[in-house]
């Protein structure tokens, strides 16, 4: 109803605690305040305060039995008092459990004939029993008070329900005397209203001129700021002139929704600020304030309904119309809806004036009767409009009548309104008429908002809108980013529709702001699932604290690594281990803080730990094994980032150590994730564990024609000439083995950085080849010339055999064993020729 709509727009309420805290009782004297009372004494004092508070609330309920708004506020206070009583009773349970446990330890008193127990035990048992009885008495008192509070709360609910029913179903005799009395009353009301308004204007101008002008000036400034600000900020969303001439469906929905919401919200804020300035500057009198309030509220309602009807029907711009109706039908529907809103608003304005002026109730009844009859007549007239456009016809063509169902619904609703009013149920007719106008407008806006959110959230939908094109141009967003932004925007529109319009509908249907505040408080703080209480506010706070802890941890990691350890020249492996450990420690602390802030009892995690233990036994043992192995690797540090490690068939450099796996980069630049448990349970070779010093061996094979000592001396000279070969430990040349036709030597060198071993070995091999060739030591590998044996002449030798013999290719040294084996198994008479690499090079 309209007063609820007034309260919705003019009350800048927030979701706060549903009721005031119980009245605090001052201490009797400072000496008593210094004495620390026992828990039982404190509980008794709190229960006594609750008893007095319940008595006070019961008296207030009896006084406000006809005031629905006051009853709603008192119900919130009663519920808060009941919660305080329960909390007081619960606070004594830990001590009661301790007493029970201690009595169990002491055992039962000795029976007849048994030796007596010591006086200390007997006195302690007596004291514990007395304290237990005191706590039980307090618990009983708390239960009694809780029952009283519940009865009082239920009584308030029943009273409010009866008030609502009486308001709707109250019957008033409508006859000739009623109309005559109303005519007489309206004359007196008009005179009283003129005197009241005139006296207030005279008083305000003579004694509150500065305050009145200041309030008006501030109100106009607020209106100007809102008007200019909304046009500048939201012009792309609501200005049809700068949008497409042929808008798509999603654009029409968005423009209809935002062109309704933004002006309505701006008007509501303007009305609220105007009323606030007038009240704050003491310009309004108590008898004028309700009239000013209802005028501002009616103005907001008129703007909201008219803006919505123009946005949906668009009588002057058919391209933006959301429903397919004719131009003439759209104009008639807009005027009909606006007329019903004006009549309904004037009805509530007239009712408020009658209430302020103290007019007879019969005058309010007659006013509401007239408004109900007019609205019923308008609904019946709407059934005669012909707005339906045939398929394929233009919107400016004459329309067809409504479908029979819609036309009958309009007629029946109008007839029922008129019959209800004329039969004396004016309150019911007034309520139905208000819901047709206001609740219908709210539901239509909600439906448009939901459709808008759904359309915006569709894939590739936001990119086709003005906002999407702006985001793409301004922030260079790609299609994926636009889709994600569209999904977030759609969810935001859903939340706006639910949080804004659901309370308005509840207010229209008779609920009070205090009721909505209490429900919101319970939803956000006290969702009960069995014995568990979930707080949405607490969960959001926990998430925010965890996110803050995560950000702080990452910042501290970067600061510690880049400022402290970098300046201390700490080993990169140590830096990585410390940084990783700090990261996991910070995340663990942030998780604990977030869980505590969310209101979850950490003691309940024992059940979760048990379930995890069972899961580890069945399927998570590998994950836990890798996790524990990762922690061991970070602590023991058998290898670090940058080390050259070998495990199994994997060889390469360590690039990253995490708690699940270690990242290895091979020499072919391939990244391999190795589970940490493999490093713990298998042998691991680390070329650079303590330092990068390492030995590299180069085997050299020469024929027996070479002098062994000269070969060894030459190898040592070559090693000594290389700048990267260490002098201490010095290089070694070793005669390692005899072969069938060769001798094998090894040049063993030590390098400061074994990682550079490939380059050093390559340089030394080139130098060995060149020195051996210069000094005539022979090549550092076997050097033989084996000519193929000519087959004995005979008739079996043909041209193919000769060709095969003549075309026998020289076989490289590395292929000789394989060639001999093939020749032996095939029984071929042709033997490969052994040639040197020099011969092959010369041939090439």
Q: Report the mean per-residue pLDDT for the chain.
A: 79
User: How is residue 684 written in tokens?
Assistant: 């691991």
Q: What is the pLDDT of residues 335-351, one digit of tens each?
A: 999 999 999 999 999 98
Q: What is the pLDDT of residues 31-43, one digit of tens each?
A: 443 344 577 888 8
- Least confident among 36-45, 491-500, 766-775: 36-45
Q: What is the pLDDT of residues 519-529, one digit of tens each?
A: 777 777 766 66
pLDDT for the residue numbered 832: 42
At residue 683 the predicted structure's pLDDT band, cuts being 50, 70 and 90, is confident
3-class state of residue 278 by DSSP: helix
Q: What is the pLDDT of residues 149-159, one digit of tens each?
A: 999 989 998 88
Question: Cβ distance 784 to 741 under 8 Å?
Answer: yes
pLDDT for the residue numbered 804: 39
User: How is residue 718 written in tokens?
Assistant: 């070559």
pLDDT for the residue numbered 1: 42
Spatial distance between the Cα atoms of 131 and 112, rounded to a whole number of angstroms = 26
Question: CA 730: distance to chain centroid?
Answer: 66
Q: What is the 3-state secondary structure (H, E, C) of 455-502?
A: HHHCCCCHHHCHHHHHHHHHHCCCHHHHHHHHHHHHHHHHHHHHHHHH
Percentage of the chain modeled with pLDDT above 70: 82
**Is the model's pLDDT at 481 over the cut of 70?**
yes
Indicate the burial class of 168 (C-beta count within 10 angstroms; 0-12, 13-18, 19 or more): middle
3-class state of residue 646 by DSSP: strand
Spatial distance between the Cα atoms of 743 and 780, rounded to a whole number of angstroms = 9
- Least confident among 67-81, 148-162, 247-261: 247-261
pLDDT for the residue numbered 243: 58
**Mean pLDDT value of segment 572-591:** 79
pLDDT for the residue numbered 778: 64
Ramachandran bin of 644, using left for φ above 0, alpha for ψ from -120 to 50, beta for the remaining angles: beta
pLDDT for the residue numbered 17: 36
**Is the model's pLDDT at 573 over the cut of 70?**
no
pLDDT for the residue numbered 12: 34
Between 635 and 764, the more confident residue is 764
User: How is residue 26 written in tokens?
Assistant: 């001052």
**Mean pLDDT value of segment 603-630:** 66
Which residues does residue 654 pair with via DSSP β-bridges, in sequence order?
A: 664
Q: What is the pLDDT of residues 390-445, one digit of tens each?
A: 877 777 788 888 889 989 999 999 999 999 988 888 888 888 888 888 888 888 88
Question: Cβ distance 17 to 73 under 8 Å?
Answer: no
**Mean pLDDT value of segment 689-697:** 82
Contacts 24+ apart (CB under 8 A), 187-190: 188/359, 189/353, 189/354, 189/357, 189/359, 189/363
Spatial distance between the Cα atoms of 772 and 781, rounded to a whole number of angstroms = 11
Q: What is the pLDDT of residues 352-366, one digit of tens each?
A: 998 888 888 888 888
**Is the model's pLDDT at 574 over the cut of 50?**
yes
Question: Cβ distance 389 to 201 under 8 Å?
Answer: no
pLDDT for the residue numbered 842: 41
User: How is residue 615 written in tokens?
Assistant: 């899961």
Spatial distance between the Cα atoms of 377 and 379, rounded to a whole number of angstroms = 5
Ranked by mean pLDDT, the top range of 15-24, 147-156, 209-218 is 147-156
pLDDT for the residue numbered 419: 92
Q: What is the 3-state secondary structure (H, E, C) of 649-698?
A: CEEEEEEEECCCEEEEECCCCCEEEEEHHHHHHCCCEECCCCCCCEEEEE
Query: Tokens 């033989």 label which residue?
Result: 784
C-alpha neighbours within 13 Å on the C-beta side of residue 170: 14
Listed residue (626, 632, 624) closest to 577, CA to CA: 632
Q: How far is CA 802 from CA 525, 645, 794, 798, 832, in A?
A: 102, 56, 12, 7, 15
Query: Tokens 């493999």 label which residue?
Result: 678
Spatial distance between the Cα atoms of 329 and 129, rounded to a whole number of angstroms = 84
Listed residue (28, 175, 149) closest to 81, CA to CA: 149
Question: Cβ distance 316 to 330 under 8 Å?
Answer: no
pLDDT for the residue numbered 788: 45
């Amino acid at each position: 109803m309209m007063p609820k709509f007034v309260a919705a727009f003019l009350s800048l309420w927030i979701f706060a605690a549903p009721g005031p805290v119980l009245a605090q009782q001052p201490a009797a004297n400072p000496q008593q305040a210094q004495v620390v009372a026992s828990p039982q004494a404190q509980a008794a004092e709190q229960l006594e305060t609750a008893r007095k508070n319940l008595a006070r609330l019961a008296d207030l309920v009896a006084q406000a039995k006809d005031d629905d708004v006051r009853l709603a506020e008192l119900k919130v206070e009663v519920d808060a008092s009941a919660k305080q009583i329960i909390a007081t009773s619960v606070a004594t349970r830990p001590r009661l459990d301790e007493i029970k446990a201690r009595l169990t330890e002491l055992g039962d008193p000795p029976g007849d004939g048994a030796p007596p127990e010591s006086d200390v035990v007997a006195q302690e048992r007596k004291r514990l029993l007395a304290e237990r009885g005191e706590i039980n008495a307090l618990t009983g008192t708390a239960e009694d008070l809780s029952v009283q509070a519940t009865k009082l709360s239920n009584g308030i609910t029943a009273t409010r329900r009866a008030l609502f029913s009486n308001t709707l179903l109250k019957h008033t005799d409508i006859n000739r005397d009623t109309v005559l009395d109303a005519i007489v009353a309206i004359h007196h009301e008009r005179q009283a209203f003129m005197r009241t308004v005139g006296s207030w204007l005279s008083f305000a101008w003579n004694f509150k001129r500065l305050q009145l002008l200041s309030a008006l000036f501030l109100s106009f400034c607020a209106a100007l700021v809102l008007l200019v600000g909304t046009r500048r900020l939201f012009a792309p969303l609501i200005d049809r002139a700068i949008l497409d001439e042929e808008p798509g469906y999603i654009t029409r929905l968005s423009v209809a929704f935002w062109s309704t919401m933004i002006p309505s919200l701006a008007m509501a804020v303007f009305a609220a600020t105007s009323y606030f300035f007038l009240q704050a500057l003491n310009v309004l009198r108590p008898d004028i304030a309700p009239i000013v309030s209802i005028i501002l509220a009616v103005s907001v309602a008129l703007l909201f309904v008219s803006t919505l009807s123009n946005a949906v029907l668009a009588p002057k711009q058919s391209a933006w119309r959301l429903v397919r109706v004719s131009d003439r039908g759209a104009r008639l529907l807009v005027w009909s809806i606006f007329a019903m809103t004006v009549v309904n608003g004037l009805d509530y304005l007239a009712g408020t004036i009658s209430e302020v002026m103290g007019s007879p109730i019969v005058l309010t009844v007659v006013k509401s009767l007239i408004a109900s009859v007019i609205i019923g007549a308008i609904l019946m007239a709407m059934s005669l409009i012909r707005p339906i456009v045939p398929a394929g016809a233009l919107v400016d063509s004459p329309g067809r009548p409504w479908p029979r169902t819609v036309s009958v619904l309009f007629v029946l609703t109008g007839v029922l309104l008129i019959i209800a009013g004329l039969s004396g149920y004016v309150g019911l007719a007034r309520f139905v008429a208000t819901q047709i106008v206001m609740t219908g407008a709210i539901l239509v806006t909600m439906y448009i908002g939901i459709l808008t959110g759904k359309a915006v959230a569709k894939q590739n939908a936001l990119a086709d809108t003005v906002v999407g094109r702006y985001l793409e141009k301004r922030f260079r967003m790609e299609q994926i980013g636009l889709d994600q932004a569209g999904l977030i925007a759609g969810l935001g529109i859903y939340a706006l529709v639910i949080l804004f319009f659901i309370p308005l509908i509840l207010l229209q249907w008779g609920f009070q702001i205090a009721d909505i505040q209490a429900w919101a408080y319970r939803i956000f703080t006290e969702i009960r699932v069995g014995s568990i209480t979930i707080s949405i506010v607490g969960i959001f706070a926990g998430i925010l604290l965890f996110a803050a802890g995560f950000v702080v941890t990452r910042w501290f990691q970067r600061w510690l690594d880049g400022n402290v350890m970098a300046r201390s020249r700490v080993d990169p492996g140590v830096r990585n281990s410390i940084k990783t450990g700090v990261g996991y420690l910070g995340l663990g602390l942030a998780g604990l803080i977030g869980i505590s802030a969310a209101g979850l009892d950490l003691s309940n995690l024992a059940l979760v730990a048990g379930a995890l233990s069972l899961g580890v036994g069945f399927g998570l043992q590998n994950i836990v094994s890798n996790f524990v192995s990762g922690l061991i690797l970070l602590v023991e540090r058998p290898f670090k980032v940058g080390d050259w490690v070998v495990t199994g068939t994997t060889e390469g450099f360590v690039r990253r150590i995490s708690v699940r796996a270690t990242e290895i980069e091979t020499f072919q630049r391939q990244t391999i994730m190795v589970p940490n448990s493999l490093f713990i349970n298998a042998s691991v070779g680390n070329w650079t564990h303590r330092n990068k010093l390492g030995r590299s061996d180069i085997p050299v094979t020469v024929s027996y024609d070479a002098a062994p000592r000269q070969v060894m001396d030459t190898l040592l000279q070559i090693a000594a000439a290389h700048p990267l070969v260490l002098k201490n430990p010095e290089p070694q040349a070793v005669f390692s083995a005899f072969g069938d036709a060769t001798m094998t030597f090894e040049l063993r060198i030590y390098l400061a950085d074994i990682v550079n071993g490939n380059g050093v070995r390559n340089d030394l091999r080139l130098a060995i080849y060149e020195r051996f060739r210069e000094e005539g030591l022979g090549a550092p590998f076997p050097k033989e010339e084996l000519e193929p044996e000519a087959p004995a002449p005979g008739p079996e030798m043909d041209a193919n055999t000769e060709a095969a013999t003549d075309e026998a290719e020289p076989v490289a040294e590395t292929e000789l064993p394989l060639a001999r084996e093939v020749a032996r198994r095939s029984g071929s008479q042709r033997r490969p020729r052994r040639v040197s690499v020099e011969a092959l090079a010369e041939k090439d």
